[in-house]
Amino acid sequence: MDTYIPEQGDFVWINMNPQLGHEQAGRRPAIILSPVAYNKKVNLALLCPITNQIKGYPFEVIIPIGLGVSGVILSDQVKSFDWKARNTEFIGKASETTTLEVLKKINTLLQIPALVQLNR
Q: Do 6 and 83 contact (CB within 8 A), yes or no?
A: yes
Of residues 117 and 82, the one with the higher pLDDT is 82
What pTM was estimated for this model as a whole? 0.88
Q: What is the mean pLDDT of the chain?
A: 89
- Give the closest residue to 72 by CA, choosing from 37, 29, 41: 29
Mean pLDDT of 83-91: 92
What domains, with CATH codes, occur in the chain? 10-119 (2.30.30.110)
Assign residue 80 a region (left: φ > 0; alpha: ψ between -120 and 50; beta: otherwise): beta
